[in-house]
Copies of this chain bind each other. A is one copy, B any other.
Amino acid sequence: MRTHYNHELTIKNVGENVVLNGWVAKARNLGSLMFVDLRDRFGITQLTFPDTLFAEANKLKNEYVIEVKGKVIERQSKNKNISTGDIEVLVSELNILNTASQPPIIISDDENILEETRLKYRYLDLRRPKVQSYLLKRHEIIQAAREVLVKEGFYELETPILGRSTPEGARDYLVPSRIHEGQFYALPQSPQMYKQLFMVAGFEKYFQFTKCFRDEDLRADRQPEFSQIDIEASFLSEVEIQTLIEKLLKNTFKKVLDLDIKVPFERMEYSDAIKFYGSDKPDTRFEMLIKDYTKTFSETNVPLFENEEYIAGISANDAKYYTRKKIDELTHLVKKNHGKALAFIKLQDGEFAGSIVKNLTSEELLSLGLKENEILFLVPGDFSNVSNSLGALRNQVARDLNLIDSNKFNFLWVINWPLLEYDEEAKRFFAMHHPFTAPNSIDALRNDPKNALARAYDVVLNGYELGGGSIRIHNKEMQDLMFKTLGFTDEEIKQRFGFFVNALQYGTPPHGGIALGLDRLVMLMTKTDNIRDVIAFPKTQNARDLMMEAPNFVEEEQLVELSIKVSK
């Protein structure tokens, strides 16, 4: 129908006859003159109307859908802010394709409207230029990422959505089978086994942009279904897989944001990440490393620190900011993260102050080397809780003091993860990544599982886990040993993973892979902090689609056909 989009016409088109489509973004009746801003996906063109069409044009309201024919003319008062600002179209024919009622929400990037209301009318919310730009960027990110994978010889292969429940990991979404009474499919938490089976089958290089499902209690940045870039390859080393991902991200940032990111990314040992950043996904856009003060305080008489295994802290440069009230908030944060207590010492106007100052001698205080207006936060306890709570504290203090340069994209690889973690309650090991991750050595798995390291790697961006990967176990005996270490009996292994363990024996190549969180990548690249912004039709934290009203009740007959009943 149309000859041009609404961002295209310039002074060069003056004199041409054109056909345009779009929405009325603004209609202004200036008495004798009528101006309309016509919007489409790409931009805006100004329309003017001759007297003969004035009455018709005067009917136009915002969001009406129209088609116009007309001639491009030069504008008198030019608008430098839009690409078509030098011209306007003098309309000779106006065709109203659809009218529009007053929308129930204001379509504007002013986000004061309740998110609930916006999600209910998501089809209108999606008209906001900002949200449109998020989804356009999402599209571009997908294309740029895929481009690298295709060029590197990866095959785009699909795996089923209707799979089998293997309750090791998060909670599955189940789908009752109608044909097989009492049996259920499960939606995939990830295509892990399928992608490894592609390697068994000799495809060597696989990728897929796919949906994964976890029926978990939702946090702010979680969705019941999420998208991931899923990758697996044979005969590649850790570093080769990491290099591929660096290439993929470099191309994506260049194409979409015109940014050159530096590769290779920094590598950080998991143990250092915990020790210096208190996190397995450190935000390295700011310093403020965690420092070990155990020795410093070993000879002092601070009751709070007595008999504590580990004392560590971070220091920041605005003691004045940290009033009593602010420090109470931080104490609350530390305790929420299982830190025993938060102590602090600050040097303000040449005076030391803080919760433990009275327990320290002047010499001891001076030896800490605080500068004017510096504040030192200290947490005592065991290594793990101290690190965790200082990690949370570090991020909060950085936000408080505006230490984060939001234009930075700091990537790093966190490597050499522990293979297993022991759960005191369940009295068994759990896999830190998943049970298919290869240990650094089979001896360690066999003889010292607690300290065994994994051939796992996470790619971290600005304090977010962007993706996790590993070299997998490709040996039947090792996979068997792994499941046994996780506490499964032979019978359980056979029943749950039997076919998979079996598959490993028919010439399975060494292989590994990674999965990148697509939603999160888009979120970070568009600099929004709400994951729902970058998903076309997201669900609430309560796992509801407010627009579709899903989930919902179904006809009794549907349940009868599925041989299930609701039971309270």
Please report A residues at the B interface, Cβ cutoff 8 Å: 1-2, 21, 23-24, 39-41, 63-65, 67, 97-101, 103, 122-124, 126-127, 132, 135-136, 138-139, 142-143, 150, 155-165, 167, 171-187, 193-194, 197-198, 200-205, 211, 213, 215, 224-225, 227, 234-237, 240, 474-475, 499, 503, 505-510, 535-537, 539, 542-545, 547-555, 558-559, 561-568
Contacts and interface: CB of A to CB of B under 8 A. Distances in A.
B548 A164 contact: yes
A550 B123 contact: no
A156 to B, nearest CB: 5
A155 B184 contact: no
A65 B65 CA distance: 63
A434 to B, nearest CB: 17
Contact of A162 (B164, B173, B194): B173
Given A65-B508, A183-B551, 8 more contacts: A97-B509, A98-B509, A100-B506, A159-B537, A165-B554, A175-B187, A181-B566, A184-B551
Contacts of A136: 155
A202 B98 CA distance: 13
Contact of A567 (B150, B177, B563): B563
A506 B124 contact: yes
A186 to B, nearest CB: 7
Contacts of A236: 1
A544 B132 contact: no
Q: How many copies does the complex hold?
A: 2
B194 A537 contact: yes
A396 to B, nearest CB: 30
Contact of A225 (B161, B204, B548): B161
A170 to B, nearest CB: 12
B171 A174 contact: no
Given A135-B203, A139-B155, A566-B181, A123 B548 contact: no
Task: Label chain A's interface by main secondary structure.
Answer: loop
Contacts of A202: 23, 39-41, 126-127, 132
Given A181-B568, A509-B21, A123 B554 contact: no
Nearest to A561: B171
Contacts of A554: 165, 167, 172, 174, 184, 186
A354 B124 CA distance: 68
Nearest to A538: B160
Contacts of A204: 40-41
Given A180-B544, A508-B65, A173 B175 contact: yes
6 contacts: A101-B506, A126-B197, A158-B535, A161-B161, A161-B213, A164-B551
Nearest to A518: B158
Given A178-B215, A503-B123, A552 B165 contact: yes
Given A103-B506, A505-B100, A551 B235 contact: no
Contacts of A535: 158
B564 A563 contact: no
Contacts of A555: 167
Nearest to A120: B499
B225 A126 contact: no
Nearest to A505: B101
A553 B178 contact: no
B551 A507 contact: no
In this complex, which of A139, A181, A544 has the most chain B Cβ atoms within 10 angstroms of its Cβ? A139
A65 to B, nearest CB: 5
Nearest to A567: B565
B507 A158 contact: no
A314 to B, nearest CB: 38
Contact of A98 (B175, B508, B549): B508
A164 B227 contact: no
Contacts of A552: 164-165, 183-184
B156 A536 contact: no
Contacts of A123: 197, 200-201, 503, 506
Which of A159, A213, A237, A548 gathers the greatest number of chain B CB atoms within 10 Å?
Answer: A548
A463 B27 CA distance: 52
Nearest to A166: B548
A468 to B, nearest CB: 21
Contact of A507 (B63, B545, B550): B63
B157 A150 contact: no
